[in-house]
Amino acid sequence: MAHYMVRFLLLALILMGLWLLMSGHYTVLVTSLGVVSVLFTAAMSARMGGTDDEGLPLHMVPRLPRYVLWLIKEIITANIATAKVILTNSHQGELFRVAVSQSTEAGIATYANSITLTPGTVTVDIDDDGFLVHALTSEFGDDVRSGVMDAKVTAVEGKGSAS
């Protein structure tokens, strides 16, 4: 029961912190409504089982900042490459399958979302065999097929090592 309460309070603190950062309004009424909203949301999430290890993957948090910095660099690089492809009209899209090495739903979702966040590639479908990915060019596809992002997400998940 204590574990359940700690996860509930941690989720409520995270949500409240995000709410305060994004709100910009700190009057008594608005802040109290924010507190009520956060507590209601955290309670509903806990009731639905959303504060378990999959819904609130706290085990990933210590390794996440390094991955996010790497992903931001990849997004910037891919933005530049995508702009070049668009400006030169040299796209030759391709669909391909890529296997995944993640073992948790949080890891799989992180990998699929990372592919989609990186310009030039989109995760189209997820099934037991892996992902169906669309790439704007074969070079973007090669980046996904290289397995670097897969290995880094697996490391964030705590199951492997990132290079």
Digit-coded pLDDT (tens) for 74-129: 999 999 999 999 999 988 999 999 999 998 888 999 999 999 999 999 999 999 88
Q: Does residue 163 lie within any of the structural domains?
A: no
Asked whether residue 55 is domain-assigned, the answer is no
Per-residue model confidence as pLDDT tens digits over 26-67: 899 999 999 999 999 999 988 888 777 666 677 788 888 999
- 96 and 149, same structural domain? yes
User: What's the CA gap between 148 and 98, in Å, rounded?
Assistant: 12
Does the residue 84 lie in any domain? Answer: yes
Q: Are residues 101 and 143 in the same domain?
A: yes
- Determine, yes or no, domain membership for 133: yes
Domain count, the chain: 2
- 96 and 130 share a domain? yes
Rounded to an integer, what distance in angstroms lies between the CA atom of residue 77 and that of residue 56? 30
